[in-house]
Amino acid sequence: MYNVTYTLRGSVRRKIYKTERGALKAIWRWLIQQQEQSSKLVVLYAPYEEPRFFEDHNQLPFEEKEDYIVDFYSSAKWKRLRYLAFERYGNQCSCCGTSPKNGAALHVDHIKPRSTHQELELDISNLQILCSDCNIAKSNLSSRKWR
């Protein structure tokens, strides 16, 4: 187990992570969020190692582009928009028509992929509901609008 202590202006929070990579990514994200703040410090306590101290996200082995996907899909903006997409487009696959009643897992798909059309990532008109199978088959190779 990896124990992490986050300190920001005298306030202390502790969290435990199962893997070192998970702990380091969480530290990196937290430091990105707090980069405008002063008096911040993160300490990573790993088994059988000396504690490691971090004050800046640049001390960690991650790049913003690498972790952007994780941060985007965890963001409050995306979660709100995802909810609105289900409300607007329904609770069934726009391609094959399956639904959770049939055991399908549904995804909110970007019609024009985020990898090539980042400016449309939060545009509800660029979203559609696809089941897991249809979404995986579509990948980011197609911009087919099924709805």
Task: Per-residue pLDDT tens, the chain, 147 aa: give them.
Answer: 999 999 998 899 999 999 998 899 899 989 988 988 888 999 999 999 999 999 998 898 776 654 554 567 878 889 999 999 999 999 999 999 999 999 999 999 999 988 788 899 999 999 999 999 999 888 877 888 887
Domain count across the chain: 2
My answer on whether 112 and 83 are in the same domain is yes
Given this model, what pLDDT does residue 65 score? 55
Q: Which residues contact 137 (CB under 8 A, 6 or more apart)?
A: none
- Long-range residue pairs from 62-68, CB within 8 A, at least 24 positions apart, any chain: 62/24, 62/25, 62/28, 64/32, 67/25, 67/28, 67/29
> For the chain, what is the total number of helices (H) and then of strands (E)?
4, 6
The model's pTM is 0.54
9 and 46 inside one domain = yes
Q: Could you list the residue range(s) of the whole structural domain that residue 56 is in?
A: 2-62
DSSP state of 56: S
In a domain, 14, yes or no: yes
Tokens standing for 93? 């696959």
58 and 34 co-located in one domain: yes
Q: Do 131 and 104 form a contact (C-beta atoms < 8 A)?
A: yes
